[in-house]
């Protein structure tokens, strides 16, 4: 008989300690590798994404809605608040905008829609200019009309189109042009971008439904399901 004992012939106490150490190590590796999705809806829909290269993530905070936000609906009466971070040049945002319009039309006073800018400047050269143009239209009370047209005509984005659209919407074109060329609302656009980053948004469209993030352009039914569940509570 051989005197060379196998691993499993070892002292039972040693085997127990070895197994315990391995189990703890595996648990730590899995806990580090797997992200926590407890506060987000399922993601993976079509979305333009910018990767955050930072090594550490601060505590995520979604900025409260203020008078500086663009709001469709009466937020004081709404039971569901949709806060959207978006980019006028993003094709998936263009696909998402009709869904948001349908939700607003379907639920009426039960929802409020808040729009914030998140221009993805590294891949969309017209994202910031179009955001600035929309703010200048908003200065004259036409933000939502201007925004809807931008999404419907993404292939036309550019200075000439913004001026033409301002004319078509009956804006004071001289006031609009002065506002746009001076980049009057650049700080506001940048503040929206920062608030999106603070909330953990890495791509567009990104829509918070009463604080729960839906990252991407999902079908209408995804949102109606979430909204109906909230309204039923």
Instruction: Please compute the mean of the pLDDT values over residues 45-52 and round it to a whole number.
Output: 65
Class of CATH domain 48-231: alpha beta
Instruction: Please compute the mean of the pLDDT values over residues 99-122 and round it to a whole number.
Output: 97
> What CA–CA distance (Å, rounded) separates 194 from 200?
10
Each domain of the chain, given as residue ranges in start order, spans: 48-231
More confident residue, 130 or 30: 130
Can you give the pLDDT at residue 48? 72
Percent of the chain with pLDDT over 90: 75
Tens-digit pLDDT profile for residues 50-70: 645 444 456 899 999 999 999
Q: Is the pLDDT of residue 102 over 50?
A: yes
Sheet holding 212-215, edge to edge: 70-72, 111-117, 80-86, 206-209, 212-215
Instruction: Please compute the mean of the pLDDT values over residues 209-233 and round it to a whole number.
Output: 97
Q: Give residue 111's pLDDT band: very low, low, confident or very high (50, 70, 90).
A: very high
Instruction: Please provide the average confidence, as pLDDT, over all residues in the chain.
Output: 85
Tens-digit pLDDT profile for residues 82-92: 999 999 999 99
Can you give the pLDDT at residue 49? 67
| Model pTM score | 0.79
Can you give the pLDDT at residue 40? 45
């Amino acid at each position: 008989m051989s005197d060379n004992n196998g691993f499993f012939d070892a002292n039972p106490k040693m085997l127990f300690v070895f197994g315990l150490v391995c189990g703890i190590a595996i648990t730590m590796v899995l806990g580090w590798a797997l992200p926590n999705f407890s506060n987000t809806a399922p993601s993976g829909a079509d979305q333009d994404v910018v990767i955050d290269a930072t090594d550490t993530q601060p505590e995520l905070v979604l900025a409260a809605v203020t008078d500086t936000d663009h709001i469709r609906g009466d937020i004081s009466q709404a039971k569901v608040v949709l806060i959207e971070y978006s980019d006028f040049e993003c094709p998936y945002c263009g696909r998402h905008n009709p869904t948001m319009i349908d939700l607003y039309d379907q639920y009426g006073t039960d929802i409020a829609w808040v729009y914030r800018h998140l221009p993805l400047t590294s891949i969309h050269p017209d994202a910031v200019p179009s955001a600035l143009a929309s703010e200048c239209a908003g200065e004259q009370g036409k933000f939502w009309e201007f925004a809807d047209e931008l999404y419907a005509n993404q292939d036309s984005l550019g200075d000439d189109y913004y001026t033409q659209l301002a004319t078509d919407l009956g804006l004071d074109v001289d006031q609009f042009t002065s506002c746009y060329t001076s980049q009057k609302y650049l700080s506001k656009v940048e503040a929206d971008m920062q608030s999106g980053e603070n909330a953990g948004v890495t791509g567009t469209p990104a829509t918070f439904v009463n604080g729960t993030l839906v990252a991407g352009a999902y079908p209408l039914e995804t949102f109606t399901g979430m909204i109906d569940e909230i309204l039923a509570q």
